[in-house]
């Protein structure tokens, strides 16, 4: 298997497991990640996910040998690596050790939060090969870091250290070597304790609001807000607070 999954509480942990090729993405791996993201979206008991790589490396991008053999590391509907074009509707945290470059960086940018160790290295080096970062990196990087800084990274193709990425605001947690997965899972478990409808709605508003005009933003927000406000979970949250107990979510 090129991808392993584990469920811990309401968290789906997804590990790319091809360390012999620095977790590069071939068709089978892309399909396995897409299947995991479909599982995350489909199963109501899952609230969040952590995506990581085995062997001290996150992902080195597309498997060039597989590409030259005619493979396509993209999945219809989900895009490169089964996530880059259409991420799941629930939050995904990237847990990064070592290199996350080219398509690997584009996978990171498709995730909602980034936890990285001090060993992490990021970059879009495609221009050095006469190519473009076609897996969404050129679309998402300007949304995640200051415009001019991200453009410099993309135009030079230079690698970026974890400290530089943190200073740019890309990383939410920086950890010692080997600790990225544990910290990311802990963060995901904190998220998973909250109301699943509220978590999903929060991500939806946060990611879609950038496309809303000033005139429509509150109206569009309320379209998402009202069904959640009227849900059983919202009532349960208020009741649990009043009764000083932990809420029991039903996802409806």
Q: Which one of 6, 43, 71, 126 is the catalytic residue?
A: 126
What letter would DSSP give residue 54? Answer: S
How far apart are alpha carbons 101 and 160 in whole angstroms? 9
106 is catalytic: yes
How far apart are alpha carbons 7 and 114 in whole angstroms? 20
How far apart are alpha carbons 82 and 92 in whole angstroms? 13
How far apart are alpha carbons 183 and 115 in whole angstroms? 7
Residue 208: count of CB within 10 angstroms of its CB: 13
232 is catalytic: no
Half-sphere exposure for 245 (CA within 13 Å, toward CB): 7
Q: Which one of 20, 71, 97, 106 is the catalytic residue?
A: 106
Q: Catalytic amino acids? A: 106, 126
């Amino acid at each position: 298997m090129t991808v392993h999954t584990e469920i811990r509480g309401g968290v789906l942990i997804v590990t790319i497991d091809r360390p012999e090729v620095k977790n590069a993405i071939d068709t089978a791996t892309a399909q396995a990640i897409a299947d995991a993201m479909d599982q995350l979206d489909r199963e109501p008991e899952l609230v969040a996910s952590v995506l990581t790589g085995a062997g001290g490396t996150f992902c080195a991008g597309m498997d060039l040998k597989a590409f030259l053999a005619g493979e396509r590391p993209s999945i219809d509907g989900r895009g490169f690596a089964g996530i880059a074009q259409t991420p799941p509707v629930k939050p995904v945290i990237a847990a990064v050790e070592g290199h996350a470059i080219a398509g690997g960086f584009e996978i990171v940018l498709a995730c909602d939060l980034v936890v990285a160790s001090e060993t992490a290295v990021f970059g879009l080096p495609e221009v050095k090969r006469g190519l473009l970062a076609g897996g969404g990196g050129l679309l998402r990087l300007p949304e995640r870091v200051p415009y001019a800084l991200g453009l410099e990274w993309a135009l030079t193709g230079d690698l970026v250290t974890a400290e530089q990425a943190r200073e740019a605001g890309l990383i939410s947690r920086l950890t010692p070597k080997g600790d990225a997965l544990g910290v990311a899972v802990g963060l995901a478990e904190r998220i998973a304790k909250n109301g699943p409808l509220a978590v999903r709605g929060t991500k939806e508003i946060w990611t879609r609001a950038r496309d809303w005009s000033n005139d429509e933003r509150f109206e569009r927000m309320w379209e998402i807000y009202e069904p959640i406000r009227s849900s059983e979970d919202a009532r349960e949250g208020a009741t649990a607070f009043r009764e000083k107990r932990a809420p029991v979510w039903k996802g409806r």
